[in-house]
Structure 1
Amino acid sequence: MRILRFYQINKVMLEHGLDELIPRKWLPWYAKLCRASLFWLRNKHPDKSQGVRVRLALQTLGPVFIKFGQMLSTRKDLLADDIANELTILQDQVQPFDSDIAQNIICQSLGIKDVSEIFSSFESKPLASASIAQVHAARLTEGDKDVVVKVIRPNIKSLIQSDIELMQTAAAVLQKLLPDGKRLRPVEVIAEYERTIIDELDLMHEAANGIQFKVNFENSPALYVPTIYGDYSRKSVMVMERIYGTPISDIEQLRARNTNMKRLAERGVEVFFTQVFRDSFFHADMHPGNIFVSTVNPDDPQYITIDFGIVGTLNSEDKRYLAENFIAFFNRNYRKVAQLHVDSGWVPSNTDIDDFEASIRKVCEPIFQKPLAEIEFSNVLLQLFNTARRFNMIIQ
């Protein structure tokens, strides 16, 4: 089964010409030989741009790869504009499944014969469609309220499980073969990813998370969390208040509404740190498809967030460590940052603190010399990885 899936993955990538994205001079001889041996698999989309081919390949491969594409879509500092812009489509515009199937899943989950028993109206065309589920607009008969109905894609768990098993095999091999295998901990990374994506398949889990967020930010001027209707939510179906807002990525529309961008930025930081340090319960899937800005008061903007399938928590020790690191970093106290990393066990106890401090300063100090828009984060990231490798930092 794993061998078959491995072949399918390679087939899709080659048929979309993704091998052409890697310069031939970078490929080792055995990679060139392997490509030549699969001579019957040719690029079927030579007329399409690189970005379109990458997106179509990830969509074809399924939810695990779509999730990966969603993550990459937020890193425009690392990707060519063509590819990054195409990958944003994966946030909420994946090919939907048939509306009749969605309605059958709703009926089976809620124990009804027809959606009209609960909803006075139900739109067949999805509002949005993503890797795990799709969303339909509806109106609840009870209370006459506008809602959205989220429905898990049919037969998705088996496909996800097969991809996870393949990733587990690859991670175990890489952990043994790579010089940095133990430090990078690929096996643990895949294990955590498996827990995360399996949780996403249970909408009762997401409903509980959303209800908790609603409690945490009740009456907050910075963040609005829509109401989740637990009575109509099951493992494969969730009913939530419909929200109306501007996508956070639509900068032109935000400016056209005269949105106070400075206030919006400040509140974004406030919302993040409140989740992490006050609540120790934070939204861990905040790509632009899940964040909106209320249209009610542009001069005093309020965020709206959806999709609570992935959350994170921190214990008190983690919060203390992170807070001290942030304070030391913003005060440019690199000695303190270095010492905190040693004290926490992230780097070996015999690390040369002076050398480590100097390396951190070399990476971080240029950041303070430029406006945010001018910082090349791809370069910063590369330097951070090199520093981590040099000092045997354990990847968290």
Structure 2
Amino acid sequence: MKLLALRRLIRIQQVVVRYQLDDLLLDLPLPWWLHALLRAAPWHWLPRAPLAMSRGERLRRSLEDLGPVFIKFGQLLSTRRDLLPPDIADELARLQDQVPPFPPEQAVALIEQQLGARIDQVFSRFEHQPLASASVAQVHAAQLRSGEDVVVKVVRPGLEPVIRQDMAWLFALARVMERASADARRLRPVEVVGDYEKTIFDELDLLREAANGTQLRRNFDGSPLLYVPQVYWDWCRPKVLVMERIYGIPVTDLAALHDQHTDMKKLAERGVEIFFTQVFRDSFFHADMHPGNIFVSTRTPHDPQYIAIDCGIIGSLTAEDQDYLARNLLAFFKRDYRKVAQLHIDSGWVPAETRLNDFEAAIRTVCEPVFEKPLKDISFGQVLLRLFQTARRFNMEVQPQLVLLQKTLLNIEGLGRQLYPELDLWSTAKPYLERWMRQRMSPLRLLHNLQSQAEQMPVLAKKTRAALDRLGQGCAPATPPRSSGVERLLGAVLLLGAASQGLAPAVDTWPAWVMLAGGLYLVLRR
């Protein structure tokens, strides 16, 4: 075992003992042998005063003591409210990503090494005192020699070996949990750790964040809703990101927002509109919209505009997921629980053999009490959370894209109600969803769908013919027969059927592709 791994294990053990996390494990329904092993631990032989902390606070503080990787892991866990008890999820949500900065000399050395030039050759001014410091990177203010004010984000040096070591221990712990407890297996700890590993290694690549920011900026170019800082690609590298410096009010600074007479109702409603625009128009949404990443422009307080930074985590949905999600939400708020259940089965989110009546009854039982409240008092994010929790009882597979969406919606809704407590999220969301559904069936959209499928026809015809020729080898005559008039007529009918299927985006498209392939083969066959 490497010395670093052994030292890290000892450190983890010290934190476990200090916060008595082993006592939390003893409260779980573990196998007898694991209970006995925990009871036999040496630190149990010494008297320990009970900590005056809840289990959630003990877990939060232990993650903070273990450092950046574990803090980030706790933040991820806090978004999985479908897996955690509410008290623990609430406490983990308080994790603050306030990590002491690393020495500016190291930051300068890493920036120069990545850019292949001295700091003074790139920047006319570079502030050594960092503006902010987080788990993965820290940020310095600077000015390019061309005059633009920028911020320089630089990844912490030496972080990757520590992350790999910590991830190895997290995976080991997750596997032990899965083997030891049926309840733990239901929480899928190995899968959760795997999601986290992908997330944190993605965040180490600042070129990915730069690309995400550029795309999001393009999506909202000229929009009064959202502004995304410009990325200066000439000075971006895997461990260094240079982008426009923004000057705005942190969205949580309510006093400053009120002082500049910001229209708080409009600001809250625009946050909701931005979310649904990203999800349904663009299928490209900022999935890390916590308050530290959101600012409000000072230019037009009567017509407030958001500013978003840190695009390291981005979510997206397929066209099918968008369609099913929109129809689910509309059916849900119309209390059409049978349609909600049917859509879950049709989408493949729950197994096809699920009994529709049982699933419908479960959804109704959970959701009817929610709708006894006025719409403005209903938490949209909590409704979605309850829907997913109910579906999990019917063996719904974890949908990573929906987990990210749920997390983002909870953040947006919580922020919106903090800005404007009377926010009626549904009155803002419902018209948008209905308008989006109408646009999907508009003649222009149908023509676009037909054009997209038509563009694939030559390639599909070639592949289909090659596949059918391979199937026919060995049993077909040496010279393939020409198409008869009947075959050509049948092919034309199939092509017309494929076109009509392609015009309906809500219908599964595989029948259209089958008819298209068969029709092309019959028409083009020599």
Give the alignment's TM-score, normalised by structure 1. Answer: 0.84
Q: Which residue of 1 aligns with 2:21?
A: 19
Paired position in structure 2 for 1:342 = 345
CA contact (8 A) 2:56 2:87 kept: no
Unaligned 5+ residue runs, structure 2?
Answer: 400-526
For the 8 Å contact 2:123–2:145, the answer to whether it is kept is yes
Helix, strand or coil at the partner of 1:274: helix
Deviation by residue 1:368-392 (Cα, 9 ceiling, x = unmatched): 3336896689997996576345322
SS of equivalent residue, structure 1 residue 39: helix
Once the two structures are overlaid, the 10-residue window that deviates more, 381-390 or 351-360, is 381-390
1:126 deviates by 1.2
Q: In the TM superposition, what are the counterparts of 1:60-209 in structure 2 within 5 Å? A: 60-71=65-76, 78-79=86-87, 83=91, 87=95, 89-90=96-97, 93-113=98-118, 115-142=119-146, 144-175=147-178, 178-179=181-182, 185-209=188-212
Aligned equivalents of 1:231, 1:223: Cα separation in 2: 24
Cα contact 1:70–1:287 (8 A) shared by 2: no
Whether the 8 Å contact between 1:214 and 1:225 is mirrored in structure 2 is yes
SS of the aligned residue for 1:314 comes to coil
AA paired with 1:212? Answer: Q
The residue type paired with residue 330 of structure 2 is: I
Give how far 1:306 is off. Answer: 0.6
Deviation at 1:36, TM superposition (A): 6.3
Q: Which amino acid aligns with 1:160?
A: I
Alpha carbons 1:64, 1:160 under 8 Å: kept: yes
Residue aligning to 1:227: 230
Q: TM-score, normalised by structure 2?
A: 0.64
Higher deviation after alignment, 243-252 or 316-325:
243-252
- 1:218/1:337 Cα in 2 relative to 1: closer, same or farther (>3 Å)? same
Equivalent residues of 2:248, 2:307 under 8 A apart: yes
Corresponding residue for residue 331 of structure 1: 334
In 1, Cα distance between the equivalents of 2:180 and 2:22? 26
CA contact (8 A) 2:17 2:43 kept: no
- In the TM superposition, residue 52 of structure 1 has moved relative to its aligned partner by 8.2
What is the CA-CA distance between 1:258 and the residue it aligns to? Answer: 2.8
Whole-Å separation in 2 of the counterparts to 1:371 and 1:191: 40
**Amino acid in the other structure paired with 2:104:** S
Give the superposed CA RMSD.
3.8
Counterpart code for 1:94: V
- Cα pair distance change 1:43/1:204, threshold 3 Å: farther
Whether the 8 Å CA contact 1:290–1:306 is kept in 2: the answer is yes
Deviations 1:180-235 (A, max 9, x none): 77765544443333222211111111111111111111011111000111111111
**1: CA distance between counterparts of 2:380 and 2:332?**
17
Kindly tell me the number of residue pairs found equivalent between the two proteins. 390
Q: For 1:110, give the aligned amino acid.
A: L
Report the Cα distance in structure 1 between the residues aligned to 2:183 and 2:257, rounded to whole angstroms. 44
Counterparts of residues 249-260 of structure 1 (less than 5 Å) = 249-260=252-263
Distance in 1, matches of 2:384 and 2:322, equals: 23
> Which structure carries more relative contact order (alpha carbon 8 Å, separation 6+)?
1
Pair 216,7 (structure 1): closer, same or farther in 2 beyond 3 Å: same
Between 54-63 and 242-251, the greater mean CA deviation after superposition: 54-63
Query: Which has the larger displacement, 220-229 or 178-187?
Result: 178-187
Q: 1:248 to 1:185 in 2, by over 3 A?
A: same
Computing the radius of gyration from Cα coordinates, the structure with the larger value is 2
Against the structure 1 CA distance between its residues 10 and 257, is the aligned structure 2 distance closer, same or farther, given a 3 Å change threshold?
Answer: farther
* Alignment partner, residue 370 of structure 2: 367
Would the aligned equivalents of 1:185 and 1:395 in 2 still touch at CA under 8 Å? Answer: no
Stretch deviating more after TM superposition (73-82 or 309-318): 73-82
Aligned residue type for 2:366: V
Instruction: Give the aligned partner of residue 267 of structure 2.
Output: 264
How many angstroms does 1:253 deviate by? 3.4
Which of 376, 381, 391 aligns to 2:394? It is: 391
Displacement of 1:254: 2.8
Amino acid at match of 2:347: S
Stretch moving more, 4-13 or 223-232:
4-13
With over 3 angstroms needed to count, the CA separation of the structure-2 counterparts of 1:50 and 1:102, relative to structure 1, is: farther
Contact 2:79 2:89 in 1 (8 A): no
Question: In structure 2, do the counterparts of structure 1 residues 388 and 86 end up closer, same or farther at CA, with 3 Å as the change threshold?
Answer: closer
Unaligned runs of 5+ in 1: none
Between the aligned partners of 2:189 and 2:60, the Cα distance in structure 1 is 25
